[in-house]
Amino acid sequence: MVRIDPARLDTRLTLLPLYAAVAWVAGALVLAGKGEVRSAAGLWPVAHAVLLGVAGNAVAGAGLQLGVAALGAPPPYRSISWWGAVVGYNVSLVVMLTAALDEVQTLRRMAAIATAGALAAWALPLSLRILQGGGDRTARLALAAGLGGLIAAAAVGAARLNGLALPGGKAAHAALGLAGGLLPIVLGASRAIFPTLLGVPASRGFAWFGAAGIAAVILLAWMTPWMSDRDLWWRIWGSALLVVAIPAQIPLWRRRTGRQPALALAWICAWLCMVVAGGMMLVQGAEAVRQATFLLVVVALMTAVPATLLPIVAFVSWWRLRTRVPRGTQVPGVGLLQPERLRGVWLMFRLPAAAAWLALVWPPTGPPVLRLAVGLETAAVLALLAAFLAPAFNASRFRRALHLDQSQ
């Protein structure tokens, strides 16, 4: 079982990627509210950009903050350089999304190249540092392989937009990004941080099974560009998702403590979405790929990723508070910096909002459902922002009160 050692956290490292991940959720909602998303088809460019914004920043921020504490990885490079790489990534991504919505293809192609380069600038050093760590080997290999998959997917996507023909076409980009990049990162992160955050039990049998599952997923992802034109291949993918997702839920149901209920529920829902997506692909083959991808991106990832970032930012804020007050001072617990009820309120709106987004594609529906989805997501985003900003606000309030007490 991997344990997070807070003493290894470098409080000088920037929290910018974690805040940027949440900002992308809010930005997507603004686009939907302004009418940029008018139909199910219009969801895809926005969903793609939000996936890159939320998931990319979440991986960068969590990897930077917890790669050291959980896996013993040295920081990739100085904080200011990391800050610059993340800013460049987000600026390029904003330009690419704007160009896609305005159909300015030349600018979109240039922004895609810049986005791929900026992603490689932070993902490649991070993956190398994680490999040098001393933590759980399976988690380190999965995270490093997943970061490599993200780099490859960004390169393939930029090459496609610039007219370079590659095996598999669009399927190569999607397979490398989702299955070769994000899925191994999700599985590796589950082994690296869930034991501490959720108290899930350690099991040697599940460890070996998880390692085999991660290896199989990575192999399938890298083979997909050459096999994507075969219906049977997508049925194999559906079987693989079922094999990975069903056992992955078992430790969550067997967790020894009741802490972090919102996080546990979010991840259980995410794994259930993967089960549904896998079942669809197993039964329908290539016909279900589009709907299954939408289910995994809009519902599963957009629920599980913010749910995971919330306790991470609370934990990091709590440790920073401890290091910035006089030794021996009793500080509020993590649960006081970010009350669990805030996470619960966010999830209470997020899950119905996800169901409303799904109603836009199963079967395709019109503006009333879109307005419902935007309304529910607005409430969810407001709750998410409140929960995300609460640790910094409460920590600052405690420090001010402590300073006043000491000055009297």
Per-residue pLDDT reduced to its tens digit, 74-123: 666 566 677 788 888 999 988 888 887 777 888 888 988 998 998 988 88
* Residue 327 or 276, more confident: 276
Q: Is the pLDDT reported for residue 316 higher than 60?
A: yes
Q: Report CA torsion sign: 122, 15, 61, 345.
A: negative
Are 388 and 313 in contact by the 8 Å Cβ rule? The answer is yes
Of the ranges 68-82, 190-204, 294-308, which is most confident?
A: 294-308
User: Is 6 inside any structural domain?
Assistant: no
74 lies in some domain:
yes
Largest CA distance in the chain: 75
State yes or no: pLDDT of 203 exceeds 70: no
- β-bridge mates for residue 361, sequence order: 364
Give the pLDDT confidence score for residue 1 in this predicted structure.
47
The mean predicted confidence, pLDDT, of the chain is: 79
Asked, for residue 325, whether it belongs to a domain, the answer is no
The predicted pLDDT at position 348 comes to: 92
pLDDT in tens, 122-178: 888 888 888 877 767 777 888 888 898 899 888 888 888 887 777 666 777 778 888
Look at residue 271 and tell me whether its pLDDT is greater than 70.
Answer: yes
Per residue in 329-353, pLDDT (tens digit) is 788 888 888 888 999 999 999 999 8
22 domain-assigned: yes
Phi/psi at 364 (nearest 5 deg)? Answer: -55, 135
Q: What is the pLDDT of residue 97?
A: 82
DSSP per-residue letters across 25-71:
HHHHHHHHHTTS--STTTHHHHHHHHHHHHHHHHHHHHHHHHHHHHH
| Residue 122: closest CA among 94, 98, 92 | 92
Instruction: Quote the radius of gyration of the chain (alpha carbons, Å).
Output: 21
Domain count, the chain: 1
Q: What is the pLDDT of residues 284-296, one digit of tens each?
A: 888 888 888 888 8
What CATH number does residue 385 fall under?
Answer: 1.20.210.10
CA distance linking residue 315 with residue 309, whole number of Å: 10
User: How many residues are present in the chain?
Assistant: 408
CA dist 307 and 312 (Å) reads 9
Question: Which residues fall within 8 angstroms of residue 30, CB to CB, at 6 or more apart?
Answer: none
Per DSSP, the three-state class of 364 is strand
**319 within 8 A of 6, measured Cβ to Cβ:** yes
Higher pLDDT, 208 or 112: 112
C-alpha–C-alpha distance, residues 153 and 161, integer Å: 12
| 198 or 25: which leads in pLDDT | 25
Q: How confident is the model at residue 5 (pLDDT cuts 50, 70, 90)?
A: low
**395 pLDDT above the threshold of 60:** yes
For the cut 80, the answer to whether the pLDDT of residue 29 exceeds it is no
Task: Provide mean pLDDT across the span 368-377.
Answer: 80
Task: Note whether residue 408 is domain-resident.
Answer: no
Whether 2 is covered by a domain: the verdict is no
- Nearby residues of 313 by Cβ (< 8 Å), 6 or more positions away: 15, 18, 338, 388, 391
How confident is the model at residue 321, as a pLDDT? 85
Range of the domain at 84: 12-319+332-399
Q: Which of 4-18, 248-262, 317-331 has the lowest mean pLDDT?
A: 4-18
List the structure tokens of 4: 């997070």
Mean local confidence (pLDDT), 323-332? 79
Return d(Cα 100, Cα 37) in angstroms, integer: 12
Element (H, E) at 343: helix 340-359
Q: Is the pLDDT of residue 261 over 60?
A: yes
Q: H/E element holding 102?
A: helix 79-102
